Amino acid sequence: MRKFIFVVCLFLLSINILEACRFTVREIGYSTLSRDMYSLVVLDENVNATDVYWNSVHRKLHESNIRLSVLNPFADRQHPFAKQIIASNISLPAYVLIAPNGRMLILNHNKFELALKEVFDSPIRKNLYEDIPSVFSVLLWVDGEDETVHKSTARIISESVSQIENMMPHMPKEVKKGPLTYRITKEIYSKERVLMWALGLDEFPKRPVAFVFYGRGRIMGDVASFSEIKNGKLYKLMSMIGADCECGLDRKWMLGNQIPLLWAADTRQILVDELNFDVDNPMILAEMSRILAKETDANVAGDIGFGPEEINLDEAFDEIPELTFDENIKESNAWMFYLMGLVLFILSIGLFLFFRNKSQ
């Protein structure tokens, strides 16, 4: 009888584990379910796209969200990228980075190696690549021309990070390291030209702006202006990163836009150690895809909460939907849990009969 009770306890424990086994928005953000692909275009009549050198560049870029296009301005003049570059009247040969939305950045170098170096060798993006697998998020702020607000901006950002660190123990999944903060000053702005372009900043701003990064170089939400920074938008954006992925958050907030970023294969093991599962495993990706495929209600009534504190997102900006962290299993997932529960129940009965027959 005691063995039977033990088996039943294991069954009940398994059901609790199944109910708690969900992904967070942060974990979803590391997946490759959605990627923003940038194009590095070489437009030069004196190069051959089939050369061994270009094949080696292709292999290097394979570990990033950038793809190489080597084009001839005459033979490939009907190619969309060639037409776009030629229409801009820039001198050839040209090395150009094109964003997913068609925005174009001309790389001002006369050698491809220098252009490639600018695309990848950004100090901030190098730090981001090294840090983001193991931290909750990265908060980047560009301090702007107005020096009178630098101190107040730094204080607000520090307070926002502290708030998140205080809430992290109450979030669905533990993350050991809290948010990191990077600052872009006017002195280093030019060194981050590719990153600033990808973020939509064509010139150094007059007042501070900020961005929240998570996952595989993804941006949570959009740019936070100085007034939004003062109104607590950064804290609200970072709160979403720790949210349960089945909380009703719209897909566009789950898989934010990405910056151009090198993501080497050896980072996979770092993520496995950090997340305790392989985010690139096909079964994991299939489960994440199933979750993201569910219809979400952008007007779900409720608050986002981790423990005793509650935050009403719509009080600050209406475009971000309110979220609810429901302790019950979502109705759409119930069939799966019932089926697995039935299997475990049958297994427990079988074990009970086995032990009983063995004891006789």
**57 shares a domain with 29:** no
Is residue 12 included in any domain, yes or no?
no
**135 shares a domain with 72:** no
pLDDT number for residue 141: 97
**186 shares a domain with 302:** yes
Is residue 205 included in any domain, yes or no?
yes
Is residue 163 included in any domain, yes or no?
yes
**157 shares a domain with 229:** yes
**293 shares a domain with 272:** yes
Each residue of 30-46: pLDDT tens digit? Answer: 998 888 999 999 999 99
Each residue of 252-302: pLDDT tens digit? Answer: 777 899 999 988 878 888 889 899 999 989 999 998 888 887 745 433 333
Torsion of CA 53, 58, 212, 272, to 10 degrees: -120
Using the 3D structure, point to which of 280, 300, 315 is the last residue of a domain: 315
Is residue 331 included in any domain, yes or no?
no
**42 shares a domain with 161:** no
- Tell me how far apart the 2 most distant CA atoms of the chain are, in Å: 91
Each residue of 166-190: pLDDT tens digit? Answer: 999 999 888 999 999 999 999 999 9
> Residue 177 corresponds to which tokens in the numbers above?
């390291």
**128 shares a domain with 93:** no
pLDDT number for residue 29: 93
**175 shares a domain with 67:** no
- On the 0-12 / 13-18 / 19+ scale of CB atoms within 10 A, 173 is middle
Sequence-ordered alpha helix ranges (H) in the chain? 2-20, 25-29, 52-61, 80-87, 112-120, 123-131, 150-167, 186-189, 193-198, 226-230, 233-241, 251-254, 267-275, 282-293, 331-359
Each residue of 48-74: pLDDT tens digit? Answer: 999 999 999 999 898 899 999 999 999
- Domain carrying residue 68: 38-98
**166 shares a domain with 189:** yes
pLDDT number for residue 332: 36
Q: Calculate the average pLDDT of the chain.
A: 81
**93 shares a domain with 130:** no
Question: Distance between CA 168 and CA 220 in Å, rounded?
Answer: 17
Is residue 349 included in any domain, yes or no?
no
Is residue 265 included in any domain, yes or no?
yes
pLDDT number for residue 226: 97
Q: Are 238 and 139 in contact (CB under 8 A)?
A: yes
**CB-CB neighbours of 350 under 10 Å:** 11
Each residue of 77-97: pLDDT tens digit? Answer: 999 999 999 999 999 999 999
Is residue 279 included in any domain, yes or no?
yes
Q: What's the pLDDT band for 134 if we cut at 50, 70, 90?
A: very high
Is residue 326 included in any domain, yes or no?
no
**149 shares a domain with 79:** no
**133 shares a domain with 88:** no
Domain count of the fold of the chain: 2
Each residue of 143-158: pLDDT tens digit? Answer: 999 999 999 999 999 9
Residues in Cβ contact with 205 at an 8 Å cutoff, skipping those fewer than 6 apart: 142, 144, 145
- On the 0-12 / 13-18 / 19+ scale of CB atoms within 10 A, 248 is buried
